[in-house]
Amino acid sequence: MTEAQWEHAVAEIWAADLDDEQLVSRMTSLASAAPHPALAAFELGGAYDSTGHEAEADEQYAAATSSGLAEVDPDRAARMVVQHASTLRNLGRVDEAITMLRDAPEHPATGAAPKVFLALALHSAGRVDEALRVAIEAVEPTLPRYHRSVRAYAAALTD
């Protein structure tokens, strides 16, 4: 299987209307044909993550990182920060999720998603004013106007 065929097969799995068991089964099969172990671990982690198997997703995301996902596919690596941090939050490892999301570099593959998921993690940690500030600051650049006022209101939440 070529890399292009593998990528096409991954896209087909994600686009298909599969139940949880089918999704994990098909992605597990496809992972064995991945052009790189980091890609296999990332996609399998995503399958586990989206089907509520957070512990397995955490293992796969860690494997993707240690296998060099950042060098192999920077877009997937950026997406994985969001996905892995969300998994950590669901596992009750909120402080790790917050750190991961705060350290996430800006990337076109994720847009404002790291900030949105950071807001969720901060909320889970009981830091609601900070969570609201982060969420407001994430959407502020997309507003057609009121930037100065919105930034000031957001800053006042935690000052």
- pLDDT tens-place string over residues 5-39: 999 999 999 999 999 999 999 999 999 999 999 99
pLDDT the model gives residue 38: 98
pLDDT the model gives residue 159: 83
pLDDT the model gives residue 47: 98
Nearest Cα neighbor of 45 from 31, 58, 26 is 58
Q: What is the mean pLDDT of residues 125-132?
A: 96
| Residue-wise pLDDT tens digits, 24-78 | 999 999 999 999 999 999 999 999 999 999 999 999 999 999 999 999 999 999 9
Nearest Cα neighbor of 47 from 69, 16, 93, 4 is 16
| Rounded-to-integer distance, Cα 25 and Cα 18, Å | 10
Residue 16 main-chain phi, psi, to 5 deg: -75, 155
* CATH class, range 3-126: mainly alpha
Query: 81 near 108, Cβ under 8 Å?
Result: no
pLDDT the model gives residue 152: 94
pLDDT the model gives residue 83: 97
pLDDT the model gives residue 64: 98
Q: Where are the domains of the chain?
A: 3-126
pLDDT the model gives residue 55: 97
- What are the residues whose beta carbons fall under 8 Å from the beta carbon of 117, sequence distance 6 or more? 82, 85, 86, 89, 97, 101
pLDDT the model gives residue 139: 94
| Residue-wise pLDDT tens digits, 130-158 | 999 999 999 999 999 999 999 999 999 99
Chain-wide mean pLDDT for the chain?
A: 96
* pTM of the model as a whole: 0.91
